[in-house]
Structure 1
Amino acid sequence: MRRALAVLAAVPLIFFAAACGSDTATTSGSQGAGGGAAGVKVTGNLGAKPTVTISGAPATKSSYQVIAPGTGPEVKSGGQVIVNLTVYNWDGKHNAFQGSSYDTKQPETIPVNEQLPQVLRDGFTKVKHGGRLLAVMASDSTQQQAQATQAAQPTKVFVIDVVGAPPEPLKAATGKETGDSIKGVKVVSPGGDKAPTLTTKTSEKPSKELVVKTLIQGTGQKVQAANTLTVHYTGKIWGTDKEFDSSWTKGQPASFPLSGVIQGWQKGLVGVPVGSRVVMSIPPDLGYGAQAQQNIPANSTLVFVVDVLSAY
């Protein structure tokens, strides 16, 4: 999803870059309302951007510390959690600040699953909603990624404030079929929770403007520009029927801030009620333009069928 729909917000990309491909990190126990790991001190009020002081040589083993346990519901393994992230590089010299969702005013949604390093999965089991977790992600947690890229990731420091959990998304679009369509594009909706079939093999010329048609009219709240969405989608190239990305194929929906994806999505999904299924034809200037992407040639018109499962 991130590769196909453009770069999302910087902070979660940093987070997942550091977190990718690890189950080997070690953990440490919890602390009270303030503190930190060796070399890292975290202060400041919960619900606000923390103050982080880093000293000494970078840690070589990953760890977590519970700064504040929280008093709300527990974080559920296998679910998703909304967090505010504050991120630093720990190089022992500059210890540069990398970003904070408190600055962007857009909390991020993280899936608590096997894609996270063990140290983070363990840490999340020790905090509740309203809590604060410190995680130090050292070379042991990025070992597999370093092997794949031949470049080791620097040690990173994350202060993670657990805001809550996103609303339970729908399984698929639900509502009344409209009978609407885009000329040259065919979508077959089999009903229930099954994926729709998108066909874009056509001799028709694509519109130079964004075209959005509602196939199933949902009845939920309307999407706003500042929302984080959970969607199922399939994306193909106009005229070739070439699929370049699909959450249905991956077996799980995708969640992302609408403000972080390509303009065609931002313009096309605002105002769409949750529960809807839409098909969008996105011209190059609202997609990737003249810059080729993996599996997407330059100047491609993109076609997406999208089920809007939740918005918050």
Structure 2
Amino acid sequence: MRRRTAVLAALPLIFAAACGTAQKTDSGAAPAGGSGIKVTGQADQKPTVTFPSGKPQLTSSSQKIIEGNGTPAKDGDVLTAKVTVYNWDGKDNKSPGSDYDQNKSEFVTVSPQLPKALHEALVGSKPGGRVLAVIAKDNLTEDQLASAKQQGTDFATTSQVLVVDVVSAAAKAAQGTATDPGVEGVKLVNPGGDKAPTLTTKTNAKPPKGLVVKTVIEGKGPKVTADQMVLAHYTGKIWGTDKQFDSSWERGEPTTFALNQVVKGWSQGLTGVPVGSRVLITIPPDLGYGKEGNAQGGIKGTDTLVFVVDVLGAA
């Protein structure tokens, strides 16, 4: 269920997998870290980017264009953002894409594995803020440079420019007072804070025949729609055996997925759930992996699946 961010994945760079209110102060004409690039417009609207004449800058740089408000981002944070990308070749300086054109946001993980200039721009950024990163050959490995050239971008003569508008930062876990989901045969311990819930499914009770979705913590964010990307932490176990087959908590980072590209039990169960919620979902075989099951996960075609899911974001 992993997916790279939409705009970043479209670039010839290989990026690592990575609720505020947009600040409506106009940025003016902000030069980007000595690059000569000017970025204008509000942080909740597609930026206007003006490039200097002549050859592009072939060294990386970063700058915060609009400060924003709230808690500064740090490594490991997942930001909901709108990204606009340009290929700075000193000629057309075309944009291969912008989240504003699709009326979508995306998730960007703040990580040292990102190109250095982008990482430096994102660290310390705040919701409602805007940052700019010029990514040049000095920020890329030989393999990344070769891959980019094969895909049509030669970093010997071109740099890439990213304008990132930070919409919000995701919580680490669902926050609030938890209630008992009230499903016989399932035990859920909610330790609170940013700690993972503990799910137990060892039982002799018969599993529900249909899909069951129980709210444990009700979030205050917008309701998830069926066509969105979702950011979530979760644990999945098999009813009756307590066998765990997957857990983003154990991997140490939340996962992102397109809600219309997962098993039906997830897509039906999470549609309409407010962001910030923790839900318990029991999924019968026909809404899970069907009669064939999932051999890789050790799931038989007769298994009922049980998940506890923290919905941390939707974009």
* Fold shared per TM-score above 0.5: yes
Q: Quick one: distance in 1 between partners of 2:86 and 2:295?
A: 30
Letter in 2 for 1:231: A
Superposition pairs of residues 207-286 of structure 1, within 5 angstroms: 211-214=211-214, 217-221=216-220, 224-226=223-225, 230-235=231-236, 245-254=246-255, 256=256, 262=262, 264=264, 265-272=266-273, 274-281=276-283
- Partner of residue 176, structure 1: 179
Letter in 2 for 1:278: L
Indicate the SS of the match to 1:97. Answer: coil
Indicate the SS of the match to 1:224. Answer: coil
Q: Quick one: distance in 2 between partners of 1:194 and 1:176?
A: 15
Give the paired residue count: 286
Identity of aligned residues (%): 30
Structure 1 residue ranges without an equivalent (≥5): 22-30
TM (norm. structure 2) is 0.63
- Partner of residue 83, structure 1: 81
Indicate the SS of the match to 1:151. Answer: helix
- Partner of residue 103, structure 1: 101
Shift of 1:83: 2.3
**Contact 1:19 1:142 survives alignment (8 Å):** no
- Partner of residue 121, structure 2: 123
Q: Quick one: distance in 2 between partners of 1:194 and 1:32?
A: 44
- Partner of residue 29, structure 2: 33
Q: Quick one: distance in 2 between partners of 1:158 and 1:145?
A: 21
Change beyond 3 A, Cα 1:33–1:213 = same
Change beyond 3 A, Cα 1:272–1:197 = same
Change beyond 3 A, Cα 1:198–1:205 = closer
Superposition pairs of residues 141-156 of structure 1, within 5 angstroms: 141-143=139-141, 146=144, 151-152=147-148, 154=153, 155-156=159-160
Change beyond 3 A, Cα 1:180–1:125 = closer
Q: Quick one: distance in 1 between partners of 2:249 and 2:169?
A: 23
**Contact 1:237 1:296 survives alignment (8 Å):** no
Instruction: Give the CA RMSD over aligned residues.
Output: 5.1
Q: Quick one: distance in 1 between partners of 2:222 and 2:306?
A: 17
Matched, 1:61 2:64: no
Q: Quick one: distance in 1 between partners of 2:11 and 2:236?
A: 26
**Contact 1:173 1:309 survives alignment (8 Å):** no
Shift of 1:157: 2.0
Shift of 1:218: 2.5
Q: Quick one: distance in 2 between partners of 1:91 and 1:282?
A: 54
TM (norm. structure 1) is 0.64
